[in-house]
Copies of this chain bind each other. A is one copy, B any other.
Amino acid sequence: MSEDRRLAVLRAIVQDYVETSEPVGSKALLERHRLGVSAATVRNDMAALEEEGLIAAPHTSAGRIPTDAGYRFFVDRLSGVKPLSSAEKRAIATLLDGAIDLDDVVDRTVRLLASLTRQVAVVQYPSLTRSSVRHIELVPLGGTRLLVVLITTTGRVEQRILETGLDLTEETAERMLASLRSDVNGATVGKTLADAAGGLGELPTQVDPAARGLLAAIAAELTEVLVEQREERVVLAGTSNLIRAGEDFSTSIGPVLEALEEHVVLLKLLGTVTEQGDTVAVRIGAENPFAGLQSTSLVTTGYGAGSDLVAGLGVVGPTRMDYPTTMAAVRAVATYVSRILAD
């Protein structure tokens, strides 16, 4: 029994099932692929593949469909890289080139990815953790409140309103703010956010004692923003594509939609991927740790300006998915948007 042919059969099953969304039988396989053997032989191969847990039959005397393990094998060993058409490449380039600011880039990216893959696209805003401080601005708001604005190298702006308890309209307060402004910037600009938080922790002992209380409060507030990175956001598009693929989910699509609303979950999924280089990661079905997404597959990768990967992006769809095409699209979009972000 030829090992090679058995894998060819697996590949053929995956391809046909993805295309037709119907269990594929031995005869149908022969019509669409030149395997050079008879139906009976294919049946033997199928029985072996089923034994190995790579395919399964929904019921007696129906065709076979790939299992999660089957898709995994296909993705790892059987699928080549499918290049994008040049029309698609051009569409990506022109669409993203028209973006006018960071929000727009993210918005266009997520819509592009959704329409390209015809699935649900997820794009994480460039994350704070790997970016660094470009500037920190302190703006008195009229009363006793102070607006702290943090600007990162990725162009992201975070703001925070701080109750100081001091009357900031007084002249002494203005002078104090001016010196604070330069001190804080001196201690943070250019550092990664984590380092900057550390740098702020050492500042209080070096400055005018009169401003110490205020500075401590600002430092605490900044540290919170820097370390907590609570502000991470994700954007979705193409949710309606779930409907089209509705019957592919073993369960209803309700739980899937619910899971997609839990942005924290999505962030976690996108977060792990940014740590492992620029490869495209695929999570298939039950490989996924989150209950609502166990009948879906995720195709994700990292993106960002320069060599630093600062965020993740990807799509989620049914396990019955055209992995080569989807992976190519995800990779291409990530590459282009990274280029755009690098200015």
Does chain B have a CB within 8 A of A151? yes
Does chain B have a CB within 8 A of A243? yes
Does chain B have a CB within 8 A of A240? yes
Q: How many residues of A contact B (CB 8 A)?
A: 32
Stretch of A65-73, A155-163, A273-281, A316-324 contacting B (4+ beta carbons < 8 Å): A155-163
In this complex, what residue of B is CB-closest to A107?
Answer: B263
**CA A136 to CA B151, docked complex, whole Å:** 15
Q: Evaluate contact between B159 and A157: CB separation under 8 angstroms.
A: yes
Report if A139-B141 is in contact (Cβ < 8 Å); known contacts: A149-B149, A257-B243, A261-B237: no
Does chain B have a CB within 8 A of A258? yes
Report if A231-B103 is in contact (Cβ < 8 Å); known contacts: A240-B261, A254-B244: yes
Q: Evaluate contact between B135 and A137: CB separation under 8 angstroms.
A: no
Q: Evaluate contact between B157 and A149: CB separation under 8 angstroms.
A: yes
From residue 232 to 247 of chain A, which have CB atoms closer than 8 A to chain B? 237-240, 242-244
From residue 122 to 158 of chain A, which have CB atoms closer than 8 A to chain B? 134-135, 137, 139, 141-142, 147, 149, 151, 155, 157
Partner of A141, one of B135, B231, B238: B135
